[in-house]
Amino acid sequence: MMKKILCLLIVTALPVAAQQAATITGDNYQAQGSVDGFSFGPHNFVADSIEKDLVSSFSLKWVDEDSFDVFVEGPGADFDFFLTLSGLDFNNGSGQRVDIVNAFFNENDSDYSTFFASPGNPSGAPRPVDPIVTSALDSVTVNFGAGWTDQLSNDFPTLRFDVQVVPESTTFMMSLMGMCAVVFLRQRK
pLDDT in tens, 107-166: 999 988 777 776 666 666 777 788 899 999 899 999 987 777 777 766 778 889 999 888
Range of the domain at 176: 1-19+168-189
Based on the fold, state whether residues 27 and 105 are members of the same structural domain: yes
153 in Cβ contact with 74 (< 8 Å)? yes
d(CA 32, CA 57): 14
Q: DSSP class of residue 138?
A: S
Based on the fold, state whether residues 65 and 148 are members of the same structural domain: yes
pLDDT at 18: 31
d(CA 101, CA 64): 18
Encode pLDDT of 92-105 as tens digits.
777 788 888 999 99
Task: Determine what percent of the chain falls in helix, strand and coil, rounding each to the nearest 5.
Answer: 25, 40, 35
Based on the fold, state whether residues 132 and 103 are members of the same structural domain: yes
Encode pLDDT of 47-62 as tens digits.
887 888 877 677 888 8
Based on the fold, state whether residues 181 and 99 are members of the same structural domain: no
Based on the fold, state whether residues 140 and 182 are members of the same structural domain: no
pLDDT at 160: 92
Based on the fold, state whether residues 133 and 172 are members of the same structural domain: no
pLDDT at 182: 61
Based on the fold, state whether residues 114 and 64 are members of the same structural domain: yes
Encode pLDDT of 12-36 as tens digits.
444 443 333 566 766 678 889 887 7
pLDDT at 4: 53
d(CA 152, CA 167): 36
Based on the fold, state whether residues 119 and 186 are members of the same structural domain: no
Based on the fold, state whether residues 142 and 175 are members of the same structural domain: no
Based on the fold, state whether residues 72 and 10 are members of the same structural domain: no
**Residue 116 burial by CB count (10 A; 0-12/13-18/19+): exposed, middle or buried?**
buried
pLDDT at 105: 93
pLDDT at 24: 74
Based on the fold, state whether residues 29 and 117 are members of the same structural domain: yes
In the predicted structure, residue 78 carries a pLDDT above the cut 70 = no
Q: Could you write out the DSSP letters of every residue in 117-130?
A: -BTTBTT--PPPPP
Based on the fold, state whether residues 52 and 74 are members of the same structural domain: yes
* Total number of domains constituting the chain: 2
Strands 67-72 and 23-24: unpaired
